[in-house]
A and B are shown apart, each in its own frame.
Chain A
Amino acid sequence: QKEVEQDPGPLSVPEGAIVSLNCTYSNSAFQYFMWYRQYSRKGPELLMYTYSSGNKEDGRFTAQVDKSSKYISLFIRDSQPSDSATYLCAMGNSGNTPLVFGKGTRLSVIA
């Protein structure tokens, strides 16, 4: 079993839809959970950062972490064409150890 599993998609939704992106993981030691957005030929941009379990909301984005199920989610409300990108989940133990990344989900929001 891979340490982090993420469906690569592609995922195509109409503008205004609610998008749900998910990752599962196997390492119960993970404490930090992140979502990055990467546009083509650009470096990943940190979208959401969550420590341990719980929800975090920032504008149209909501991140959820369920450590008991080893499952994290990113919800995008009122999706826009500009949200079209690859979304990477990442998780880790401390700031000085490498994050473990999912393979990324390619999202297309169609106008």
Chain B
Amino acid sequence: GAVVSQHPSRVICKSGTSVKIECRSLDFQATTMFWYRQFPKKSLMLMATSNEGSKATYEQGVEKDKFLINHASLTLSTLTVTSAHPEDSSFYICSASKVAGAGEQYFGPGTRLTVT
């Protein structure tokens, strides 16, 4: 199998606080993980590509100081939304690519963030 988990599945936080979202590949090693954002009834928007042991590559328009990404091991990447604001409220989804595989990305179940 290829299972990716995310934690938490849902989080509510106050403006100005920081929130950390974890993405784990449970049964495979992932050299690369991807973080997406999705607004209601809209397609996935790639935020950044995260390689184990190196700095993440952010897409144009994504603030790297606001969305901190760490990929400390082959099975774990974290996204920290710093100084969250209501406009950061969204559905955040990670995906992972197998080390030995090619092409397929397996998605986590997503994290719904609400900033009040």
* A binding-site residues for B, Cβ under 8 Å: 31-32, 34, 36, 41-46, 49, 51, 88, 90, 92, 94-99, 101-104
Rounded to whole Å, the gap between the CB of B23 and the closest CB of chain A is 10
A34 touches B44 (CB 8 A): no
| Chain B interface, number of residues (Cβ within 8 angstroms) | 27
Chain B residues near A99: list those with CB within 8 A: 103, 105
* B binding-site residues for A, Cβ under 8 Å: 2, 4, 6, 31-32, 34, 43-44, 46, 49, 51, 91, 93, 95, 97-98, 101-110, 112
A44 touches B107 (CB 8 A): yes
A90 to B104 alpha-carbon distance, docked (Å): 9
Which 5 pairs from chain A and chain B are nearest by CB?
A32-B103, A43-B107, A95-B97, A103-B43, A96-B32
B102 touches A95 (CB 8 A): yes
A41 touches B43 (CB 8 A): no
Chain B residues near A103: list those with CB within 8 A: 43
Rounded to whole Å, the gap between the CB of B52 and the closest CB of chain A is 11
B49 touches A98 (CB 8 A): yes
Chain A residues near B2: list those with CB within 8 A: 46
A49 touches B43 (CB 8 A): no
| Nearest A residue to B34, CB-CB | A98
